[in-house]
Amino acid sequence: MWGVMSDRVYLDYNATTPLRSEARSAMIAAMDVLGNPSSVHSEGRAAKALVERARAQVSTALGAEGADVIFTSSATEAAALACAGRGLSAAPVEHDAVAAWTDSALTVSPLGAIEIDDSACSAVQLANSETGVLQALPDGLAVCDMTQAFGKQPISFNRSGAQMALVSAHKLGGPKGVGALVVRRGTDVAAQIKGGGQEMGRRSGTENIIGIAGFGAAAEAAARDLAGGVWDRVEKLRNILEKTIAAAGNKTIFVGIDAARLPNTSCILTPGWKGETQVMAMDLAGFAVSAGSACSSGKVRASAVLRAMGHSESDAASAIRVSLGPQTTEDEITRFAQVWLRHLDKHRARVSA
């Protein structure tokens, strides 16, 4: 079950998701656990048991049984732990957390497919946060950012061929401020935060057992939703949105529509209408959407993802991302499309005048 939201229509699930009731309950219960997970007495063992339960929940949901799940403060920290000092190559469509540690040497097709030369020296995302485009992962890939796909798309880390993967709790109904690096056994990972040797010696510091408990519960619930077909319904709503907008006969482009995509993501590009202007107009109308990745949306710049896919600077600055979730209704989608189209007409009238 997902948490209750306001009367506003939230269509920015790729930025963050509402907290699941399962995660909230697990976190409240964890608040009453006294011990430090590193202590050997009964209270410490009880705290350790919470962490290990969550580790098993995340591992099972991700199809990573037998791999090491290292809890971190975020997927961003996991990216630093996985990529620092490795000299990896990536494409310009990667999230900033990965791009900060890699060389943007890989090229991207107009459909968003990343061309990989040497998988063992590459970091490749499974799903793009702005366009939803999914990648075919090669065997032996060094690092895979699975953050956006986890919980929305069937995933098996063990079958992916990746040596390491990044995931985050708040993208699937868990709390903010907790993530994980998943490591195939035998893969060398040098600790970036050193000290007490927690998390199998890879990430020192007392574990955030409240956040970790919420992560585990959210991952388990997300796996149930996925198996129950929840995201199939979301995909139908996404398709209704795009067909409704396309039927209006405008020149809007749905980026990545001819590629395999996440079921909830629509990147809507309208040449000449700035994305940030659209976001503000929709916000005032009661709809939450974004103009790109939440980690870079505060910066006024054209999307590097869309530029890498061959769109011009102007067009890349004229896109919004609408990302749906299990709570989204057909009525909300219909109302959003109607309001967005009205604002598009007003924009074109101003341009013509």
Q: Which residues are catalytic?
A: 295
CA 76, CA 94: separation in Å to the nearest integer?
A: 12
Q: Classify 10 in phi/psi space as left (phi over 0), alpha (psi -120 to 50) or beta.
A: beta
Cα–Cα nearest to 146, from 66, 229, 58: 58
Instruction: Please tell me the distance from the alpha carbon of residue 141 to that of residue 90, in angstroms, as a whole number.
Output: 11
Retrieve residue 317's tokens.
């600055």
Q: Which of 162, 250, 249, 203 is nearest to 74 (CA)?
A: 203
Q: In angstroms, rounded to a whole number, what is the distance separating the alpha carbons of residues 164 and 167?
A: 10
HSE at residue 142, side-chain half, CA atoms within 13 A, is 23
Which pair of tokens denotes residue 291?
């103009």
> Which residues, 6+ apart, have CB-to-CB distance to 204 below 8 Å?
191, 193, 194, 195, 196, 197, 198
Length of the chain counted residue by residue: 353
